[in-house]
Amino acid sequence: MAELLTERSGRVAAARKLTRRAGRDDAGAFLAEGRQAVAEALTLAEADPSAVREVFATETAAAAHRDLLAGTAVPVRLVTEKAAGALSETVTPQGLLAVCALRDVPAERLAGSPPSLAVGLAGLADPGNAGTVLRTADACGAGAVVFGAGSADPYGGKAVRASAGSLFHLDVVRGAPLGPLIAGLRARGVTVLAADGGGETALDDAGTSGLLAGPVLWLFGNEARGVPPELAGAADARVRIPMRGRAESLNLAAAAAICLYATQLAQS
């Protein structure tokens, strides 16, 4: 029986550094925890062996997920429960984590070959919202999500969990200046839309007028401040979601879901 790695082992200590953004950037890797995320990572590794470096599992988790781990070519390291807890960012560790390569792509690739639907995030701060937007973008068929400067790190534990594996299905652009990217995409025929509660165009009208026909980049801003005025001004339109109730506003992730779903319908 293989000896269990403890929280003091070199491999676990190195992986522990990935719970911090600086550590992730230095190593070019991040942690994905839980069956769904690890399953998606291992599926990706079948086509790209460099996508996943190793998997850590407690004996209990390895037994529970034997079907998932048995056929993989990725090294599986058995660890103690305490070591798994040291790697986890949850209150209740799941005992199953994968060390995955960062999935960043350069902004130039997106600008050179725009997908029919993409998302740009300007100063989005909450990692839970970041992961939820990734999941929603994936569900609606988007090809890329751009995390502008100042946005939450999509590779942090909370964001990865909230993405529910969708992080492995999309191109991710981090830290790109959104202004030049918007200009480049518009030059390639992409319609840029800024989600704005006070926008001059209603989402219903955007659908009937052909604005959503694509390709489209949706801009979503900070949870409290919205899309910065200079970026909203550079968009083709500022779009609001008509609300018939008395709510003051929508949660950012909910607003993104509505806008992206409407775009998916318009492009189908």
Domain end call among 86, 101, 116: 101
Torsions phi, psi for 121 (to 5 deg)? -115, 120
Residues 208 and 240 in one domain: yes
Domain boundary residue, one of 77, 101, 125: 101
Domain total for the chain?
2
Residue 61 CB neighbours (<10 A): 25
The reply to whether 32 and 117 lie within a common domain is no
DSSP class of 117: E
On whether both 49 and 159 belong to a single domain, the answer is no
pLDDT of residue 249: 84
22 phi and psi, to 5 degrees? -60, -40
Per-residue pLDDT of 126-135, as tens digits, reads 999 999 999 9
Q: Are residues 96 and 118 in the same domain?
A: no
Residue 111 sits in the same domain as residue 207 = yes
Residue 5 falls within a domain, yes or no?
no
* Number of other CB atoms surrounding residue 150 within 10 Å: 13
Q: Is residue 216 situated within a structural domain?
A: yes
Q: In whole angstroms, what is the distance from residue 217 CA to residue 119 CA?
A: 5
CA-based nearest residue to 261, from 212, 190, 197, 219: 212
What's the farthest any 2 CA atoms get from each other in the chain? 66
- Strand ranges across the sheet with 29-33: 29-33, 96-101, 52-57, 76-78
Cα 117 from Cα 104, distance rounded (Å): 18
CATH number at residue 94: 3.30.1330.30
Q: Identify whether 244 is part of a domain.
A: yes
Q: Which domain holds residue 88?
A: 10-101
SS (H, E, C) 130-195: HHHHHHHHHHCCCCEEEECCCCCCCCCHHHHHHHCCHHHCCEEEECCCHHHHHHHHHHCCCEEEEE
pLDDT for residue 246 = 87
Check residue 248 and give its pLDDT.
Answer: 83
**What are the Cα distances from residue 186, in Å, to 70, 111, 144, 234?**
47, 9, 16, 10
Is residue 237 situated within a structural domain?
yes
The answer to whether residues 90 and 121 belong to one domain is: no
The predicted structure's pLDDT at residue 91: 85
> Residue 33 and residue 90: Cα distance in Å, rounded?
9
Q: What is the pLDDT of residue 247?
A: 87
Within a 10 A sphere around the Cβ of 97, how many other Cβ atoms?
Answer: 29
**In this structure, is residue 2 part of a structural domain?**
no
Give the other-Cβ count within 10 Å of 73's Cβ: 9
Domain endpoint, select from 101, 124, 149: 101
Edge-to-edge strand ranges of the sheet holding 171-174: 171-174, 144-147, 117-122, 216-221, 191-195, 237-240, 201-202
118, 136: one domain: yes
Q: Give the CATH number, domain containing residue 176.
A: 3.40.1280.10
Q: Judge if 256 and 127 occupy the same domain.
A: yes
Are residues 123 and 85 part of one domain? Answer: no
Half-sphere exposure of 123 (CA within 13 A, CB side): 11
Question: Contact 131/208 with Cβ under 8 angstroms?
Answer: no
Q: Is residue 173, in this structure, part of any structural domain at all?
A: yes
Residues 181 and 80 in one domain: no
Let me know if residue 41 belongs to a domain.
Answer: yes
Residue 252 phi, psi (nearest 5)? -55, -45
In a domain, 1, yes or no: no
Q: Are residues 120 and 94 in the same domain?
A: no
**97 and 193 belong to one structural domain:** no
Which regions of the chain are under pLDDT 70? 1-2
Kindly report the pTM of this predicted structure.
Answer: 0.93
- Reading the block at residue 211, the tokens are 């604005």
